[in-house]
Amino acid sequence: MSSPHVGASIQARMYASIWHKVVWVVAVVASAGLLAPPLFFIAAKKRVVSMAVPAVYAAIIYGTAVLGSLVGNPKNWVGGVLAITMIVAAVHASILDADWKRDQ
């Protein structure tokens, strides 16, 4: 039993040009990951990723910030979680169009 997504063409390109990709990746890094959920929401609307991806990024990024402010940050765990999430989001944003190919 094979998946219907195997061999299916991508609905839309995420980035119009290489500069568009660079701007988004730099924006994710410069905002310390806070712009990752909106980026992946746009990707989900274009059907590049599932709608669960922006929800997971939002829960991790915004949830960590809120939880850190409520319970405190005695061992500096909030910065570590946000830094790791930012790196993962930047790498994920940079490979969104990696499998996109022009129709021959």
Of 97, 86, 101, 95, which Cα lies nearest the Cα of 34? 86
* Number of domains the chain contains: 1
The CB density around residue 43, as the number of other CB atoms within 10 Å, is 23
Residue 60: inside a domain = yes
Domain limits for position 90? 32-94
**What was the pLDDT predicted at 85?**
92
At 38-73, the pLDDT tens digits run 999 988 898 888 999 999 999 999 999 899 889 988
The pLDDT of residue 7 is above 90: no
| Alpha-carbon distances of 94 from 3, 21, 62, rounded to whole Å | 25, 7, 21
Q: How far apart are CA 14 and CA 50, in angstroms?
A: 13
Residue 63: inside a domain = yes
Residue 86: inside a domain = yes
